[in-house]
């Protein structure tokens, strides 16, 4: 049976390349994979199609997008939700597009990360937030200027781990697994199971709500 994947905000399809490498390692027939890359930037089309994916240009909040497609076994939303104002509509769309046995892989920056807490302590703007459409560096001192320069990140909704869990439960998503990660290897080691609330990145594996209770992820 085919295994259908939807990658929301796919960019150049880097997640799919990593996924294909992983299935080869685990001796899973990668020919089963059907990859749909969704992004508002049409310039990624060639790169996604080059690696064997099907590129769709559009916005996940548009109900016409993917209207004729079957449901998906895996939906990837990696560092996407923080860019969306209508997060409730976003998660409802995902729920309707997911197979009963399907999973969601969701990641987002953590507003309560250790470095955000430290920056607030010194009166600085936390890294995942911004106050302007001109530059993300305002209020972040030398570290912000070094990381962002004059670039913007357009983060609209920035979650703490607690807020994300409350939000997902409200929308009847079952949290199969939740752990911390980061942008450096050491972060992925330190925060995976311990001190998850301090991790730079929150990762959640989700499915549509069943009768099971996910209290262990509080």
Grade residue 31 by pLDDT with cuts at 50, 70 and 90. confident
| Topology of the domain comprising 3-110+159-208 | Rossmann fold (3.40.50)
* Domain residue limits, the chain: 3-110+159-208, 111-156
pLDDT tens-digit readout, 140-173 = 999 888 888 778 999 999 999 999 999 999 999 9
DSSP 51-94: TT-EEEES-TT-TTTTTTSPPEEEEEEET-GGG-S-HHHHHHHH
Q: Is the pTM of this model over 0.85?
A: yes
Handedness of CA 128, 134, 140, 142 (dihedral sign): positive
Question: In the prediction, which pLDDT does 26 show?
Answer: 65
pLDDT of residue 213: 47
Q: Give pLDDT tens digits for 162-206.
A: 999 999 999 999 999 999 998 888 887 788 877 899 999 999 999
pLDDT at 25: 61
């Amino acid at each position: 049976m085919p295994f259908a994947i939807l990658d929301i905000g796919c960019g150049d399809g880097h997640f799919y390349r990593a996924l294909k490498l992983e299935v080869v390692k685990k001796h899973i027939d990668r020919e089963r994979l059907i990859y749909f890359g969704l992004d508002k930037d049409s310039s990624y089309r060639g790169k996604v199609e080059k690696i064997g994916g099907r590129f769709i240009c559009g916005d996940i909040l548009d109900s016409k997008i993917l209207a004729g497609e079957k449901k998906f076994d895996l939906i990837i939303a990696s560092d996407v939700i923080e860019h969306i104002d209508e997060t409730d509509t976003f998660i409802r769309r995902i729920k309707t597009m997911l197979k009963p046995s399907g999973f969601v892989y969701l990641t987002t920056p953590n507003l309560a990360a250790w470095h955000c807490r430290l920056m607030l302590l010194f009166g600085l703007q936390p890294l995942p937030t911004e106050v302007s459409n001109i530059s993300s560096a305002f209020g972040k001192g030398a570290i912000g200027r070094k990381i962002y320069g004059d670039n913007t990140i357009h983060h609209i909704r920035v979650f703490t781990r607690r807020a994300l869990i409350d939000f997902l439960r409200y929308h009847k998503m079952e949290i199969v697994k939740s752990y911390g990660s980061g942008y450096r290897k050491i972060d992925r080691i330190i925060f995976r199971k311990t001190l998850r609330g301090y991790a730079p990145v929150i990762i959640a594996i989700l499915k549509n709500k069943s009768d099971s209770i996910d209290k262990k992820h509080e």
